[in-house]
Amino acid sequence: MTDLKAPDLTELEQLCDFAQTRLEQLNGDTGFDDLDEDPPSEWEWGCLHKTRAWLEKLKNLTPQQEIDLALEVLKKHQSNPRIRTFLDLSTGHLTEETRLRWANGEFDKVLTYVASPYGWWLWTGSEEGLMQQVPSDIHAVVAYARNFGCDWINFDRDAAYVNDLPVYE
């Protein structure tokens, strides 16, 4: 199953074209009418029309809508223990004071994290009671990540900023 690749939009369109041609043949709408099969049902035509409508929507997705769709798919599969998601986030979303306190180990008993050469990996599953002991900038990014179903946040000094969160540097 690992060699199975998802079709791109062009391939989906070709499949729709093939299905439409076949349905037209079965319906007798083409010169090729020597088939001994029943004409296509309303359900079969309906499937084709629904697929074409879905394909058109996919073609017209904005980049943000593509991200939203991907997030919905990930959320659907979050119950699978092998799938973990993370938010890649600039350390600039943390105040300088918070970054210094974190680097000095002040959150060691409150947060589950791993230091990296460029920041931290923070687990978003800390209990709410513990989260009350961290500064509001950490609390805000954890809430933001949880909203997207992310298990971890990769605070990285080279990561991009997120428009929905304050930037402190």
Same domain, 91 and 149: yes
Q: Which range marks the domain in which residue 141 is found?
A: 86-156
Same domain, 95 and 141: yes
CA distance 162 to 8: 29
Res 75: pLDDT? 73
Q: What is the arrangement of strands in the sheet containing 113-116, beginning at the earlier edge strand?
A: 86-90, 152-156, 119-123, 113-116
Please tell me the total count of domains within the chain. 2
Q: Is residue 75 part of a domain?
A: no
Q: Is residue 2 part of a domain?
A: no
Res 1: pLDDT? 41
Q: Is residue 28 part of a domain?
A: yes
Antiparallel, parallel or unpaired: β 86-90 and 152-156: parallel
- Which pair of tokens denotes residue 137? 């900038």
pLDDT one digit per residue (tens) for the chain, 169 residues = 445 565 677 777 877 787 888 778 777 776 655 556 677 778 777 777 788 887 888 888 888 888 888 777 777 777 777 777 889 999 999 999 999 998 899 888 888 888 888 888 999 887 777 778 889 999 999 999 988 888 899 999 999 999 999 999 7
CA distance 146 to 38: 53
Is 0.85 topped by the overall pTM?
A: no
